Chains A and B, each alone.
Chain A
Amino acid sequence: MKIHIKNGRVIDPMSERDEIADIFIAAGKIVAIGQGPADFHANRTLDASGLIVCPGLVDLSVRLREPGFEYKATLESEMLAAAAGGITSLACPPDTDPPLDEPGLVEMLKFRARNLPGPRVYPIGAMTQKLEGQMLTEMAELTEAGCRAFTQADAPLTDTLVLLRAMEYAATFGFSLWLRPQDVTLARGGVAHDGAVATRLGLPGIPALAETVALATILQLARETGARIHLARLSTRESIAMVRAAKAQGLAVTCDVACTHVHLSENDLISFDSHLHLVPPLRSLRDRDAIREALRDGSIDALCSDHTPVDEDEKQVPFGESAPGASGVELLLPLTLKWAREMGVPLMRALDLISWKPSQILGVSGGNLSVGGYADLCIFDESAEWIVTPKTLASQGDNTPFLDHPMQGRVRYTVIDGHIDFEAPR
């Protein structure tokens, strides 16, 4: 398949290219940017006039719900949804049933994903067996099977000695650990940020301390062991300040936030809408504003969707009983663009947070537009307006706090490995 993408505004954060140019694709690779090869005969020409052509998005947290939770979503449905969101590479956390804690399960997932249209799937392995927080997994074997890093996802880890050993073991091989800091005991029973809104609504709180106390432990152990740590889904102003300070001291840590937390806060909970039941909880406006600023100044390295499709029945219950999480692969791009517009951040910098930077954290090729590199591209209309409804979303999970919200920016084509895996209906 040879594709000629004509007249698009090509933005590539890695090379800082921003110009109207043509891109030529053959055999899954970009063969030229600008002037096409003399003998190039495209099977398909995409007119990208007025559109933006950027690297395919790289999403650091997408729950595909397989194996074990197919009633919430299937690999097919969520990979299609991700492609519709412009995502060409994704990391999937191991909190499946069974968890991704042995090579056979990882190989099966990779095999299933490879035979379906949609993004490249990079599994993140379980850090401990069954995610129980007690015994380490075979990290080296899991890496050979295709795991890019190891994590507890949102499963509790109460034993600090296990965390220390996991870091030592991972550092032995140079593996990364992706950790969402949360002290399980301080968060116990909570469903919302412990602040004035939860107090008013009578919702049991999760204090900001639950995050910062765990983060302090992680940073201290990382200094000691030299383990490569990626901090996932930070949510408080204090934890961002702690990571900023740790980076300034030369500690090799990176961090991300979920795109929901860039726009929403505890104040949005006032109607008890269970779609706002998220992990970590939506925090105060002060925290949200710190996230928005830290994304601008580079203290936060990446934005992800933290895509978590949930069965509608699990949301049709009172807030505290509902399953947490939001569907998000199709909102990652528009929510990032919204933040950039509101903050006056250039498009190049915004796209960096959802393509090149996360590809570096994941340690994979992609996330950039280079001759000879993967033909993974996202072509979108920056100004297209649309409304979020179950009908406009491809994901099986309709659970998003942005239902009925207007969005600006919509994907027109997603090219993965030189194939057009998504094309917006005209």
Chain B
Amino acid sequence: MNLQLTEDGRLRHLLTLDGLPRAIIMQILDTAESFMDVGEREVKKVPLLRGKSIFNLFFEPSTRTRTTFEIAAKRLSADVVNLNIATSSQTKGEAILDTVDNLAAMHADMFIVRHSQSGAAHFIAQHVAPHISVVNAGDGRHAHPTQGLLDMFTIRRYKGEFHNLTVAIVGDVLHSRVARSQIHALTTLGVPEVRVIGPKTLLPTGVEQMGVKVFHDMEDGLAGCDVVIMLRLQNERMKGARLPSAQEYFKFFGLTPEKLALAKPDAIVMHPGPMNRGVEIASEVADGPQSVILPQVTYGIAVRMAVMAMLAGTGNA
């Protein structure tokens, strides 16, 4: 079953990068490249999605991701409606489907969905009318495909190729949908060595079966890397007995200039944001010359424009 592709292999929904063909990922990156200059024009708009209604359906609070999707949609001239549905007010699933049905009745063309449950975007995609596309903007620990794509876009911009890279993903992989999407994209694009680095309490069971090398020592793991991706550490990890303290975490798994020096001299540092300075990353690194964290945000808009434009092209456009 491939819910996210049409029968002739085009993008129908974007739910996960797991199993998404390399050609489609490359097409998204190339399309994003063509949108890069839109943001620099005086009139930052193209009319590709004029008359389309895009609903930001956020069952979990988010400002940054929602905003970048909104900007991307508006630059494509779509009409955007933001819905922040507090998960607590949801009387569970029936309400999700009711919400979706109601919005569909308002002639929605696309749903951008964020939800705290893994698989929620799949669930909605399985229930929407055929003309509606679903973009997963983060579901539980499962996937955050547009983030994974913008990270690939960033890597390609700075490194050119994928086939000769060593990439390290550092931190709370267990709870990270971003890490999962990055791993799938990196392996699909032919990165020969993808590493995950973290304490055993923050690495999921059997993660090596996703095609990564596991390191528990950050200095070993960073040696010779071209790309270092830091993951956000949520404060509640301390409560669940996964970590003793933020201080100890920073000492052993936080990215400092000293540790970064073990990577290649031209290594880039990435972070999906928002950062916890002094927890997973030192300010000197976050603001330093190797950081590409702010460009990631800029590229995120072009990548999301590309995804929406491609989905609209396979919808009822």
Contact = CB atoms under 8 A, between A and B. Distances in A.
Interface of A: 194-196, 198-205, 207, 271-272, 313-314, 316-322
A131 to B, nearest CB: 23
Contact of B180 (A202, A205, A272): A202
A330 B134 CA distance: 37
Interface in B51-101: 92-94, 96-97
A320 B93 contact: no
Nearest to B173: A199
B316 interface: no
Contacts of B207: 199
B142 A202 contact: yes
Given A199-B210, A271-B122, A318 B205 contact: no
Given A313-B94, A321-B93, A322-B93, A199 B209 contact: yes
Given A271-B1, A317-B93, A318-B93, A199 B206 contact: yes
A318 B120 contact: yes
Contacts of B180: 200, 202
A205 B122 contact: no
Interface in B133-157: 139-143
Contacts of A196: 205-206, 209-210
A320 B140 contact: yes
9 contacts: A196-B205, A200-B18, A202-B180, A313-B93, A318-B120, A318-B139, A319-B118, A320-B119, A321-B93
Contact of B123 (A195, A202, A314, A317): A317
B210 A200 contact: yes
A321 B210 contact: no
B247 interface: no
B118 A272 contact: yes
Nearest to B121: A318
Contacts of A200: 18, 180, 209-210
A318 B209 contact: no
A317 B1 CA distance: 19
B115 interface: yes
Contacts of B18: 200
B97 A316 contact: yes
B118 A199 contact: no
Nearest to A317: B93
Given A195-B205, A196-B205, A313-B93, A318 B210 contact: no
Interface centre among A194, A202, A272 (most CB of B within 10 A): A202
A317 B96 contact: yes
Given A202-B142, A202-B180, A318 B117 contact: yes
By CB atoms of chain B within 10 A, which of A199, A201, A318 has the most?
A318
Given A196-B209, A202-B143, A318 B204 contact: no
A198 B205 contact: yes
Contacts of B205: 194-196, 198-199, 205, 207
Given A207-B205, A318-B120, A319-B117, A202 B94 contact: no
B140 A202 contact: yes
Contacts of B123: 272, 317-319
Nearest to B184: A200
Contact of B119 (A199, A313, A318): A318
Nearest to B180: A202
Interface in B177-192: 177, 180
Contacts of B119: 201, 203, 272, 318-320
A320 B118 contact: yes
